Structure 1
Amino acid sequence: MSRMVKDFVEIGDYTALDALIEKLIEIRDNLAPEAAPEVRLRGDDVFGRHLSVAYFRPQTAEEIECDARYAEAYRESRERLAASAGEPGRDHGGLRAVA
């Protein structure tokens, strides 16, 4: 089973309340039950504010492949770090690796 990742949809400029409500209903109806959607106001006064809906979705096949590739590289680097920590004369400046 794949992990869930957080994604979001920005809602454009809607001056009419009815148009905004219709768009939010459309978004809600197209989300999976486990999506746990949240409505947020994003941005600031300089770049502008945008209404967005954040939700969870399953990872795509491409995202799963990318995570697997980086997970293997991460595992290898942890193994090298653990091996070098046991070498005499090897000082990591008091730092220790945490997962």
Structure 2
Amino acid sequence: MRTRVKDYVEVSDYTSLDRLITTLIAIRDSLPESAEPSMKMRGDDVFGRRLSISYWRELTAEEQAADLKYSADRRAGEEIAALAAKLDGVPYEQDRPTGKRKAA
């Protein structure tokens, strides 16, 4: 089971350089040691540009419960798919209609 997930912080406000540096320092200081943060510029001229900071964080208890639930569903789906593949290999003859109707 996964224990970490990639999360994002976006800085899109037009602000002064000093305020941007202060914001980035605050973000950096709030991240855990194992975050492995990286920063990219995203967007375009039409919709605007923003700084996107991605980092790794631990899953919350709620996220772990959901991950456990859906990974169990995925495993069950994989088991059903494997069983269906086995059944596809079983020979089966289907009664074919002759095209004639029975008299009533």
TM over 0.5: yes
CA RMSD of the aligned region, Å?
A: 1.9
Residue 62 of structure 2 corresponds to: 62
> Unpaired runs of 5+ in structure 1?
91-99
Shift of 1:5: 0.6
Partner of 2:78: 78
Q: Which moved more, 1:22-31 or 1:45-54?
A: 45-54
Find the counterpart in structure 2 of residue 52 from structure 1.
52
Query: Is 1:36–2:36 an aligned residue pair?
Result: yes
Q: Report deviation, 1:86.
A: 1.3
- Asked whether the equivalents of residues 2 and 58 of structure 1 are also in contact (C-alpha less than 8 Å), the reply is no
Distance 1:12 1:45 in 2: 13
Q: Whole-Å Cα distance in 2 between the matches of residues 89 and 44 of structure 1?
A: 58
- 8 Å CA contact 2:12–2:50 kept in 1: the answer is yes
Q: Which of the pair has more CA radius of gyration?
A: 2
TM-score by length of 2: 0.77
Identity of aligned residues (%): 48
Within 5 A, what are the aligned runs for 1:16-27? 16-27=16-27
The CA distance in 2 between the partners of 1:89 and 1:61, in whole Å, is 48
Q: Runs of at least 4 residues of structure 1 off by over 4 A?
A: none
The count of residues paired between Structure 1 and Structure 2 equals 90
How far the C-alpha of 1:15 sits from its partner, in A, is: 3.0
- Tell me by how many angstroms 1:71 deviates: 0.9
Are 1:8 and 2:28 matched, yes or no?
A: no
Question: Match for 1:5: what amino acid?
Answer: V
Query: Take 1:85 and 1:2, find their aligned partners in 2: how far apart are those partners?
Result: 28
State whether residues 12 and 49 of structure 2, in contact with CA within 8 Å, keep that contact through their aligned partners in structure 1: no
Cα deviation, residue 20, structure 1: 0.7
